[in-house]
Amino acid sequence: MSQSLSDIVNLFHFPPSKSPKLLNPLVLAYIGDAVYEVYIRQYVISGTNHRPNHLHKAATQFVSAKAQSKLLERLMPMLTEEEIDIVKRGRNAKSGTTAKNADVLEYRHSTAFECLIGYLYYQQSFDRLREILDVALPQPSSEA
């Protein structure tokens, strides 16, 4: 039985208490981190190696603060003004914590990326969210 995207989205039927534009950027980053984590986990599970250690190592290559910071850098030229504003809000948010394996700038850019993902998720801009998330994945080789 096939499910539509709206059926899957209805699984998560708890909208935020405020408009996404009014949410604290760290709240957006909090949900954005979870959305991105599930996206990447689904991606690595779509491969053939399902050993837990391999899945964890493969996912970590995408979800680390360093990887998210680099991804945000690649995304910046394709973002709209509204999305750039959300990224800036996330980057400038004071979280009070630091990453274990990243410098302060990488951590802030990682938070900015997660803030953008959370914002698009709560805006229900799923086509745009998928377009942005797909940039994280390795591109198929064009060699024939």
Residue 33 annotated among the catalytic residues of the structure: yes
Q: Of 7, 33, 85, 134, which is the active-site residue?
A: 33
CA distance to 18, 31, 102, 126, 127, per residue, from 130 (Å): 23, 15, 26, 6, 5
Spatial contact of 113 and 49, defined as CB atoms under 8 Å apart: no
Phi-psi region of 96 (alpha: psi -120 to 50; beta: other; left: phi over 0): left
Can you list the pairs that 5-8 forms with residues at least 24 positions away whose Cβ atoms lie under 8 Å?
5/126
Would you tell me the crossing angle of helices 25-45 and 104-122 to the nearest 10 degrees? 90
Catalytic site residues? Answer: 33
